[in-house]
Amino acid sequence: MQKALTHMNLQLHHVVADITGATGMRIIRAIVAGERNAATLATMRDTRCKSSVETIQSALVGNYQPEHVFALAQALAMYDAYQAQLEVCDQQIAQSLQRLSQQKSPPSEPLPKPRHRTRQPNALNFDVRTVLYQLVGVDLTQIHGIGPYLALRLVAECGTDMSRWRTAHHFTSWLTLAPGCRISGGKVLSAYTRLAIAVGSRINRVGEHIVNGVVGRCDPADLLVAVELQRER
């Protein structure tokens, strides 16, 4: 969709944070439906959009050539098709999590309040926190830097039993984040982080998809808090 908008000289991506957001999709669907008035399109601005109506209107003055509008319509149809497939995948994930959670005893305490109420751009189309809470027994999203989607990937890669790692240092070493320091006579000879055993291994995927989003914001020891709480129960 971005390429078709650029060919029409519509600078929508400069006035909205994401063209697939509320404001962007309203305007794109209106253009495909036949609307060409920039002032009318600008009034479709969402109240949360930081750009003013005048700014959006100036960005929507372009050349609405039929071939470019056709390309935009084709791209929009493909976008909707992919979104429909993603919803099917989300339903399959939800069914799998519910099937696994049925084998677990329900938590004794209610689900805590969410730390953040802002919806993530890549959020799944079901209540991930509730299902994971029933499966794991603790709310992993209470850890600073971990949201519902990141918690789901953590459980998918590491499982629900983290007792395999005695301490946070063992878990950090398994993630290949612990530097190997060689010291002789009080002098550091070398300090580097060892590479994973094989490219594409589970260690690499965890380090890339999970740890990169947490390191710097969360202590690795916090990742084992859920295990300790689950043991106490």
pLDDT band at 218 (very low <50, low <70, confident <90, very high): very low
Distance CA 70, CA 129 (A): 41
SS3 of residue 181 by DSSP: strand
pLDDT (0 to 100) of residue 227: 40
Which residues neighbour 193 within 8 Å (Cβ) at sequence distance 6 or greater?
176, 177, 178, 179, 180
pTM (two decimals): 0.66
CA-angle at 183, arms to 181 and 187, nearest 5°: 120
Q: What is the pLDDT of residues 193-217, one digit of tens each?
A: 555 444 444 444 555 555 555 444 4
Closest among 216, 200, 198 to 208, alpha carbons compared: 200
Distance CA 96, CA 103 (A): 12
Mean model confidence pLDDT for the chain: 78
Distance CA 44, CA 21 (A): 12
Distance CA 14, CA 9 (A): 12
